[in-house]
Structure 1
């Protein structure tokens, strides 16, 4: 993809959402499309595979607030005419555009020499567009291998594994480095040679006034090398296709919908270029006992009325087994006790707490002896002056 195509790319259209879509709308649209277009669900559909890549790239840009803001800003500049065509480069290759007549607009404010907050994968915004605008005094360029695409995958975890962390094998089907040529694209026993058209730079630069526009070299397709004897297994791409198993380390405390990045585990780049990243979205199943509130775990323990009135010691479940909690006499139903350090563990910071809420459980049926005992208690209670609704009886 050329730099001009990157500027013109509409990531919102790729996800089928408007430019005003909320972060939750973008996330929801991506999840729906990813499930529909995933290569595992469409093993022989090349169009679905290409669409899946486009959707993944769009989500990578729009899911990060800083990245999205920079992307929106660039699109606005492009539509306003900040990027204008200015002729073609002399020679056999046609230039696709250059910048000029900015009307006082300082390009360094946008690109900052590569220091922008916009990031996509391992490349920064300045890296992505850094070759687009160059001072005419700078004629040297360096080869930039085409990094492989990022890959999206999903996994589902039980609640307790997500809280405590786990290492699990994940099968990923897709492109990988060719095992015959080891990614070079050349037939075993041969080597690629430097592209004579671009001198191995992978780009050709057309200077126009104070600025220059770089475009990918057509002869080597931006790789900087020519393969005279392509590998027969990968047809010179350096990329094969297989199903591989990756051991993914899920850190403690992962939340539902969280994405985990595994650098260099995505699609391999062409002819030995760096691989993309693998992003694993974790879906967490609910737990029958625990709920989660940030780093804290919560649990509701049913108790009897007599236990709260007279006081008792109850056994409470935790992630590490059961512990005893003392309930003082006269504890009201709904009171919460906090057990420090018994919540969600984390690396580099203290774990959360376990919040235990006691709730009176009312029996569905009583025998006559229990009924008589409760009637006697009711009469005795009235003699003490206790009124459970006395504090709000006068409120209308």
Structure 2
């Protein structure tokens, strides 16, 4: 008969507390439960093994006895381990232990966050010889008043997929074809999204188990930088070159917005780097797409490179007059 390292089976240290042991078992039981792996004998055997380990070291009395056996067995190995280890000294006497106890539905609900786990462990046909020798004979998942197979229900997992779109697509909204879970879906991306936005597609994650709901699919949005606009929240900023005649005398210039070109009035004597606001010409607000941010237009002075001699002469006269004032 082989010694069983129940700590290694559950993937915990020998010093693990009850909470750590319970959490480790919960994770493994969900993974290897027969209802999750129908027809998979290997998973079923693994489930029995981790259930046995949990039965052994989650119970204080059993764990104390197991610790005595483990320490004695390891000491015997360190001293050469000659012959066969004497297991008889640890054999449980008739009536010893509470080996047939199963978890109640309430305990399962507390451990797994669901009441669908029935009245006990499922899929067990008996403890190992090692466990039975130490703690007595018994059946995993069976008790005198509960023989039915537990039913397992678990929600499907959520899936996250990164999606990159242009600023124009963020302005108008767009769609993406997503291949996931052996299916293809057309995902709608609403207008107004920004980098870091999460678009939730309910029920498009992995399939739930039993009566558990499907998980959700989340699109993690990245909006590409745009050469014409910078974005801050729902507001946009763009720059436009204006010749010095309009900067001085005022006038109109055409400004490109994401919804089309629009005329912008330049006040007389506008200073360079002045920002003029076009209300409602920014990005649609994600939470209320009928409302928009603003577009700020930064004025950049553009000097003409084709001035005539007469124009230069006039400018010199104006400059000289300005210095005398």
Q: Does 1:289 align with 2:289?
A: no
TM-score by length of 2: 0.53
Q: Residues 210-264 of structure 1: CA distance to partner in whole angstroms, max 9, x if unpaired?
A: xxxxxxxxxxxxxxxxxxxxxxxxxxxxxxxx2x111212122111132222221
Q: Is the 8 A contact 1:164 1:344 kept in 2?
A: no
Aligned residue number for residue 185 of structure 2: 246
Point out where structure 1 has 5 or more consecutive residues left out of the alignment: 10-83, 100-125, 132-141, 175-241, 388-396
Aligned residue number for residue 157 of structure 2: 149
Quickly say closer, same or farther: Cα 1:170–1:380, change in 2 above 3 A: same
Q: Partners of 2:311 and 2:241 in 1: how far apart?
A: 22
Greater helix proportion? 2
| 1:129-148 pair list within 5 angstroms | 145-148=153-156
Match of 1:161 among 160, 169, 178: 169
Q: CA deviation at 1:270?
A: 2.5
Q: Report SS of the residue matched to 2:184.
A: strand
Q: Partners of 1:269 and 1:339 in 2: how far apart?
A: 49
Q: Report SS of the residue matched to 1:273.
A: coil
Q: Is the 8 A contact 1:150 1:278 kept in 2?
A: yes
Q: Does 1:379 align with 2:317?
A: yes
Q: Is the 8 A contact 2:152 2:210 kept in 1?
A: no
Q: CA deviation at 1:6?
A: 8.3
Q: Residues 33-75 of structure 1: CA distance to partner in whole angstroms, max 9, x if unpaired?
A: xxxxxxxxxxxxxxxxxxxxxxxxxxxxxxxxxxxxxxxxxxx
Aligned residue number for residue 314 of structure 1: 253
Quickly say closer, same or farther: Cα 1:159–1:374, change in 2 above 3 A: same
Aligned structure 1 segments of 4 or more residues deviating by more than 4 angstroms: 3-9, 84-89, 92-95, 126-131
Quickly say closer, same or farther: Cα 1:143–1:355, change in 2 above 3 A: farther
Q: Partners of 2:160 and 2:193 in 1: how far apart?
A: 17
Match of 1:337 among 260, 276, 281: 276
More relative contact order, 1 or 2 (CA 8 Å, 6+ apart): 1
Point out where structure 2 has 5 or more consecutive residues left out of the alignment: 1-9, 11-18, 26-57, 63-96, 116-149
Aligned residue number for residue 69 of structure 2: none
Aligned residue number for residue 351 of structure 1: 292
Q: Report SS of the residue matched to 1:261.
A: strand
Q: Does 1:275 align with 2:283?
A: no
Q: CA deviation at 1:144?
A: 6.0
Q: Partners of 1:317 and 1:6 in 2: how far apart?
A: 62
TM-score by length of 1: 0.44
Q: Partners of 1:5 and 1:167 in 2: how far apart?
A: 46
Quickly say closer, same or farther: Cα 1:86–1:5, change in 2 above 3 A: closer
Q: Residues 152-197 of structure 1: CA distance to partner in whole angstroms, max 9, x if unpaired?
A: 212221111112222332222x3xxxxxxxxxxxxxxxxxxxxxxx
Q: CA deviation at 1:86?
A: 4.3
Q: Partners of 1:86 and 1:386 in 2: how far apart?
A: 100
| 1:112-127 pair list within 5 angstroms | none
Q: Report SS of the residue matched to 2:284.
A: coil
The number of residue pairs the alignment matches comes to: 203
Q: CA deviation at 1:352?
A: 0.8
Aligned residue number for residue 370 of structure 1: 308
